[in-house]
Structure 1
Amino acid sequence: MPNPSPHAVDRRSALRAGAGAAIVGAFTAGCSDDKAGEQPADSPKPQPSASAAVAAPARPEAPRPAPAPRAFPGQPVQISSGPRARPQVALTFHGQGDPKIATTLLGEAEKAGAKVTVLAVGSWLDEQPAMARRILDGGHELGNHTQHHIDIGALNEAEAYAEITGCADRLRRLTGSIGTWFRPSRAQHATPLVQKLARKAGYPHVLSYDVDSLDFTSPGASAVTRNVTGQIRNGSVVSLHFGYADTVAALPALLAELERRRLRAVTTTELLT
């Protein structure tokens, strides 16, 4: 057979080289995780494109379980204060209103190293579900303040129980727990019927208070501070509210006064433990 011309040899070599390159390219594209396709260690890694980020959104995290109610032996069903021997107090907030105000109040407490207890209204959680996790992530405590914040003491048994369990269901859905405490709505103290229904719903105790800030009357920040500091002492449980500008304005001075008196603001559970 005659020897091929130099031009024919060059053409065949080029064809073989092109086919080999195509095979390598296909293999590399199909095995992008293989070490043969990796860049040198000192070269910058390619960044994912915006389209890839849109195509594969992050999966939402499942709610982390929140603390559940617990019984405190020796304590009555309705608790208004904690032990008087320790320099601790519980600042408790009725949870509803402008979420910006609520977030500001939580931030002020956290700057001072204070932990609070929030009794949330179920309908507020329906509108502001992210607040449940914001409260817990700040190291605070979250509880039940009925579903619609109506006068629970004026309701019949079925209606009152629905108010308690309605909020408990929201809390469970958002946090995995019915909350650590129940507080009746529009009343400092729960009636015997409401106490019984709260226990039936899974709350061993009803949380009352012995210091009322009266912040919901909008008396001015100075008056809110005076109302609290004039009554507070070891073991006190203080009633405050989200949603009121006077409370936001009063909180830094109130926390500073607690520090001056060496009273530590803790969750209600810690107060009683």
Structure 2
Amino acid sequence: MTSLDRRSVLRTTTSAAAAGALAAGCAPGRTDRTVRDAAVPRPGARTPVHATRPPTRVPGRPVQLDHGPRDGRAVALTFHGRGDARLARALLGEAERAGARVTVLAVGDWLDERPEMARRILDGGHELGNHTMHHRNICALPQAAAYAEIAGCADRLRRLTGSIGSWFRPSQARRATDLVTRLARRAGYPHVLSYDLDSLDSTDPGAPAVRRTVLDGIGPGSVVSLHLGHAGTVAALPPILDGLRRRGLRAVTTTELMT
């Protein structure tokens, strides 16, 4: 092979590698650390504002919500936001390819580790909310500690997006106690978001089991509890969305479902 041929092959290989990296959602040569650092504004730098909605208020509905209207054709897929960011990005991509929008209730210490994920969620047209600062058993905490869990995550969301997020969901609890509900309202959330269908995906039962659990239990107005950071959930999402489409149901943000 001549020197000219070798240079041509090298250019072709390098271009293909770059294209593959871009198709996977990252720039060539960028590591996860690079992405994290890029999400932190440098002093004096101007960065785009990726604002999330303010807390959603649904007049006439209870403070604690676990489903939306049963006479429509919409459902809300809600994800506890924590875990491997690569799996989170893959899941968001699957939702977007199907034209679905989801709600992510992010844990504050995950946002500290992965601040770029707040932008990724919002840029995909999805919704972002508060799932406490450290994902402790909030209903078992003393008042001051419980409030710190809610307010700490709200502060992270405000710094990253300009808002405390659309919803608050208690950690390690399906429903909030009266105390936690009052503390959430004090922090600025008119409602506490529960759910009427648990996918049980956090136990890693495998994609077919997650798909069956969701499609067997879902109906108009359902709010489904799922989790980021689980490979089985990523694999289950396309058949779940296909099953919803076949039934005439569509996955929307929780605010769209409730209002």
Q: TM-score range by the shorter chain?
A: 0.7 to 0.9
CA distance in 1, matches of 2:210, 2:88: 17
Conserved 8 A contact 2:108-2:132: yes
1:234 to 2:215 alignment = no
Partners of 2:138 and 2:50 lie apart in 1 by 30
Of 95, 108, 119, the residue aligned with 1:109 is 95
Long gaps (5+) in structure 1: 1-57
Query: What is the CA–CA distance in structure 2 between the aligned matches of 1:231 and 1:64, rounded to whole Å?
Result: 34
After superposition, the C-alpha distances for 1:149-198 in whole angstroms (9 at most, x for unaligned) are: 01001100000000000000000000000000000000110011000000
- Which residue number corresponds to residue 142 of structure 1? 128
Aligned position for 1:187:
173
Query: Structure 1 CA distance, aligned partners of 2:212 and 2:50?
Result: 38
| Aligned residue runs from structure 1 range 50-89, under 5 A | 59-89=45-75
Question: In structure 1, what is the equivalent of residue 211 of structure 2?
Answer: 225
Matches within 5 A, 1:13-32: none
Q: What amino acid sits opposite 1:108 in the alignment?
A: E
Cα separation, 1, equivalents of 2:194 and 2:152: 20
What is the alpha-carbon distance in structure 2 between the residues aligned to residue 238 and residue 211 of structure 1? 5
Output one character per residue of 1:68-112: Cα deviation in whole Å (capped at 9) or x when no partner. Answer: 012111110000000000010000000000000000000000000
Contact 2:50 2:122 in 1 (8 A): no
- SS of 2:217's equivalent in the other structure is coil
Identity of aligned residues (%): 68
Using the TM superposition, give the Cα deviation of residue 218 of structure 1 relative to its aligned residue in structure 2, in angstroms. Answer: 0.6
Determine the structure 2 residue equivalent to 1:33.
none
- The separation in 1 between residues aligned to 2:50 and 2:167, in whole angstroms, is 18
Paired position in structure 1 for 2:7: none
Question: What is the alpha-carbon distance in structure 2 between the residues aligned to residue 253 and residue 70 of structure 1?
Answer: 30
**Kept in 1: contact 2:129–2:164 (CA 8 A):** yes
Instruction: Indicate yes or no: 2:249 matched with 1:263.
Output: yes
Residues in 1 aligned to 2:68 and 2:53: alpha-carbon distance in whole angstroms = 19
**Distance in 2 between residues matched to 1:247 and 1:99, nearest whole Å:** 14
Q: Does 1:172 align with 2:158?
A: yes
TM-score normalised by L of structure 1: 0.78
177, 181, 199: which is aligned to 1:213? Answer: 199
Distance 1:234 1:181 in 2: 20
Task: Sort the Cα spacing of 1:100 and 1:72 in 2 relative to 1 into closer, same or farther, 3 A.
Answer: same
Structure-2 residue corresponding to 1:254? 240
User: Alpha-carbon deviation of 1:62?
Assistant: 4.2
Larger mean Cα displacement after TM superposition, 217-226 or 66-75: 66-75
- What is the CA distance between 1:214 and its match in structure 2? 0.2
Matched to 1:81, the amino acid is H
> What is the letter of the counterpart of residue 208 of structure 2?
S
Tell me, in whole angstroms, the C-alpha distance in 1 between the residues paired with 2:228 and 2:50. 24
The answer for the alignment partner of 1:6 in structure 2 is none
Aligned residue for 2:71, secondary structure, equals coil
Q: Please name the residue that 1:132 is paired with.
A: 118
Report the Cα distance in structure 2 between the residues aligned to 1:210 and 1:144, rounded to whole angstroms: 19
Query: What is the aligned residue count?
Result: 216
Supply the AA of the counterpart residue of 1:264: R
> Counterparts of 2:112 and 2:60 in 1: how far apart (Å)?
36
Unaligned 5+ runs, structure 2 = 1-43
Q: Which of the two has higher C-alpha Rg?
A: 1
Contact 2:50 2:123 in 1 (8 A): no
